[in-house]
Chains A and B, each alone.
Chain A
Amino acid sequence: MKADDIFAFHNLTFHGSLMNQSDDIRWRTDLPYSETGRPLEWLSKAGLNGFIARSHGHPETVESWVDWQAKRRSAGVKV
């Protein structure tokens, strides 16, 4: 893979990675998305709820983490 490639896989898909034999550290960003309304329970219990990353039907609900956090704070919800 190159630095500008994306590899998207289902959570049931077996995956792994080979040894980094280059002379630089290899950086990899993992972004797991999940269906709205199906939070990872232990994260949810810890107060680490998700925010909407994208909504085709309601694009106005897409917000940044900072906006989402401020909204929760103003609603008196523990952030």
Chain B
Amino acid sequence: MEINMLTTPEQRLLYDEQGFIMIPSLFSPEEVAVLKAGMAALHTDQRVAGAEGRTKGGMVVEDADTSRLQFYIHRGGTRFDLLARHPRMARIMQELMAVPMDIYHSKLAFKAAFTGSVQFWRQDYGYWITAKHPQPKTAPGAPNAIRPLYCAPMTR
């Protein structure tokens, strides 16, 4: 049924055929600003300090005190929690997957300015097969929604 769907038949067909789609400007600049303002609630600084220069506690740390990855940001009642369940975000993902869906983990990546390294071409199925998901032919649709945020430096 097309009524109230956020994706078009063309977008869903494109996703099925090529495995990805871009959805431009899903959120307004004002909404992005609200999300960015919610960064403090993730307590990244405290978690980096707690990691004591190592990769632990849901943090990947570089050079002893620079955060590179923070995991499980969809928990804890923060604005990132709300983002994962945002009606527009979740509806679009469900329309693409066409099945009921859960969210199990999440992460926020901080890529360094000027020299932020290239992430080479990869496929996430190697990760999923570790979790004993079905072989590719029968793997359930599992889109990752990647939302880039460009904002003030976080390097310490």
**What residues make up the interface of A, taking CB atoms closer than 8 Å to B?**
1-36, 38-44, 48-57, 62, 64-66, 69
Contact = CB atoms under 8 A, between A and B. Distances in A.
Contacts of B105: 32, 40, 43, 48, 50
B136 interface: yes
A23 B150 CA distance: 10
Interface residues of B, number: 86
Nearest to A58: B100
- A-B pairs, top 7 by smallest CB distance, nearest first, are A20-B116, A50-B102, A9-B20, A54-B90, A13-B19, A27-B149, A50-B104
Contacts of A65: 74-77, 81
Given A24-B152, A25-B113, A6 B81 contact: no
A29 to B, nearest CB: 4
Interface of B: 15, 18-29, 31-32, 73-77, 80-85, 87, 89-94, 96-97, 99-125, 127-128, 130-133, 136, 139-155
Contact of B133 (A1, A21, A38): A38
A56 to B, nearest CB: 6
Given A35-B101, A51-B102, A23 B143 contact: no
Contact of B20 (A13, A20, A27): A13
Given A4-B28, A13-B20, A29-B106, A20 B141 contact: no
A40 B128 CA distance: 7
A66 B144 contact: no
Given A40-B105, A41-B132, A8 B92 contact: yes
B104 A35 contact: no
Contacts of A18: 118
A39 to B, nearest CB: 6
A56 B27 CA distance: 21
Contact of A5 (B23, B80, B108, B144): B23
A57 B124 CA distance: 29
Contacts of B151: 3, 24-25, 27
A11 B73 contact: no
